[in-house]
Chains A and B, each alone.
Chain A
Amino acid sequence: MDASLLTIQPNAPEPIYRQIVDQLRRLIASGQLLAGEVLPSVRDVAGFHAINPMTVSRAYGMAEAEGLLERLRGKGMAVAATRKAVQSESQRMALLEPQLQALARHANELELPADAVLRRLAKLLGD
């Protein structure tokens, strides 16, 4: 994996370490990163994006604690071998949760009836 695969938005409300973990989760869940694939070093990611190396370490540490990554001796971080390329439906569904909650909140603010929102969503999903 190349450090340029990550997108960093420093001025977003989301801290940078969370942005990195979220992207790793998505890349792994979608199979764009496969089990055993080695990640760029902390220095490479920090250097490429001009961000603090501590932030990258923190993100890698969090992804490791979650079981997304594992430390390979002498090679650095890699996608955990136990990760199936494609995760269960409920795991993939969990990745959408923040967007779904935001959608629900906006719909409520606009006082839209639930069935109208669901009909539109079903259409977008190609049902």
Chain B
Amino acid sequence: MNAVFNAVHMETTHEPVSPLVAQGLAHCYEGSNALNGVDLTIAPGSVLGLIGRNGAGKSTLIRAMLGLLQPISGTAFVFGEPALKLSDDTKSRIAYVPQQPDALAWLTAQQMLDFVGRFYPRWDSAFAKSTLERWKIQPNRLLAKLSPGERQRVDLIRALASQPELLVLDEPAAALDPVARRELLRELALRAGEAGTTVLFSTHIVSDLERVASEVAFLHEGKILLRCGVDDTKERYARLWLPAKISAAAPSQSLSRRRNEDGSLSLIVARDANGQWPEASTLPGARIDALGLEDLFVEIAE
């Protein structure tokens, strides 16, 4: 009965199918919780940046969302299909670059790109060729002989040349020098803006995320602590500093609260529905400081 209702429902609404959906994903490795019930939906054409400390579960989340590992509980969907049972058609619409690619190591970079290119209906071989050159990869060396960084660069080229509808990158910046990194960001930004490509990428480099991401998700201890538009986040949150003598007036609602050595208090606070900071910020001696995403992240992830 439920299935029939859902089918009718899907026909009558015109909402596009989300490229990626996670529902209550949980996973653990050897007793330690890697994911603690993650819900995440990514809208078509958006660029979502995933940040979190080492070990926060970023790679695990990405792999579980793509059906590359079976979570202990919860479900993931890719273009509406259960991630663990993707059709070939759906697979050809996705490109994923892991942090340490290791597939097809017995081929040279050029052979690998020629080989996988045949499986993608929209393969851009001119892009693959010119980018190999610009990113200084010797096309005739075996992938097994390349450094981990070079290996990831080849895989990024593979992913971009396939012109996917959904592009998922795990820490892509680590393998690139600043010039190539800027070039990758430009590709991501323009493809999302013009071709409507949906992008999910994890990164340590918060300023990369601030350039191209439309949204940011903070993953902390296996949970999404905060998920917000990048501009919204900067405008909605700030650090409120209260000197010791008025710290008792601190608002009860805050994302984080830290008592400093001199007795003063630092809080991450949000604007209310009318755009106002909490009452305590108007007291004499109180200070409100706007924060970049990196500072905000450090404050709430401590």
Partners in one complex: yes
- Check: B145 CB closer than 8 A to any chain A CB: no
Contact status of A10 and B207, CB under 8 A, knowing A16-B231, A50-B182: yes
Residues of A within 8 A of B136 (CB): none
Count chain A CB atoms within 10 A of each CB in B189, B206, B214, B291 and give the residue with the most. Answer: B189
A-B contact count (CB 8 A): 69
Contact status of A14 and B234, CB under 8 A, knowing A50-B212, A54-B214, A109-B287: yes
Closest B residue, CB atoms, query A46 = B189
* Contact, CB under 8 Å: B290 / A52: no
Q: In the complex, how many residues of chain A place their beta carbon closer than 8 angstroms to a beta carbon of chain B?
A: 24
Closest A residue, CB atoms, query B206 = A11
* Chain B at the A interface: SS class: helix
Residues of B within 8 A of A15 (CB): 230-231, 234-235
Distance between B109 CB and nearest chain A CB, rounded to angstroms: 25
Q: How far is the CA of A2 from the CA of B255 in the complex (A)?
A: 41
Contact status of A10 and B234, CB under 8 A, knowing A46-B190, A50-B182, A50-B186: no
Distance between A12 CB and nearest chain B CB, rounded to angstroms: 6
Residues of A within 8 A of B137 (CB): none
* Contact, CB under 8 Å: B213 / A52: yes
Closest B residue, CB atoms, query A105 = B287
- Check: B146 CB closer than 8 A to any chain A CB: no
Contact status of A50 and B189, CB under 8 A, knowing A11-B210, A13-B234: yes
Residues of A within 8 A of B291 (CB): 13
Q: How far is the CA of A8 from the CA of B186 in the complex (A)?
A: 14
* Contact, CB under 8 Å: A52 / B234: no
- Check: B121 CB closer than 8 A to any chain A CB: no
* Contact, CB under 8 Å: B192 / A11: no
Q: In the complex, how many residues of chain B place their beta carbon closer than 8 angstroms to a beta carbon of chain A?
A: 29
* Contact, CB under 8 Å: B234 / A49: no
Specify which of B182, B194, B293 is in contact with A53 (CB 8 Å cutoff). Answer: B194
* Contact, CB under 8 Å: A11 / B190: no
- Check: B292 CB closer than 8 A to any chain A CB: yes
Residue interface bits A46-62, CB-to-B below 8 A is 1, else 0: 11011111110010000
* Contact, CB under 8 Å: B193 / A53: yes
Q: How far is the CA of A48 from the CA of B235 in the complex (A)?
A: 25
Residue interface bits A32-66, CB-to-B below 8 A is 1, else 0: 00000000001100110111111100100000000
Within 8 A of A (CB), among B172-213: 182-183, 185-186, 189-190, 192-194, 206-208, 210-213
Contact status of A43 and B190, CB under 8 A, knowing A11-B293, A50-B185: yes
Specify which of A13, A52, A54, A58 is in contact with B211 (CB 8 Å cutoff). Answer: A52
Q: How far is the CA of A47 from the CA of B209 in the complex (A)?
A: 15
Count chain A CB atoms within 10 A of each CB in B190, B206, B210 and give the residue with the most. Answer: B210
- Check: B47 CB closer than 8 A to any chain A CB: yes
Closest B residue, CB atoms, query A108 = B284
Which residue numbers of A lie inside 8 Å of B, CB to CB? 8, 10-18, 42-43, 46-47, 49-55, 58, 105, 109
Nearest 8 A/B pairs, CB to CB: A53-B193, A13-B290, A15-B231, A10-B210, A50-B185, A50-B186, A11-B207, A10-B207
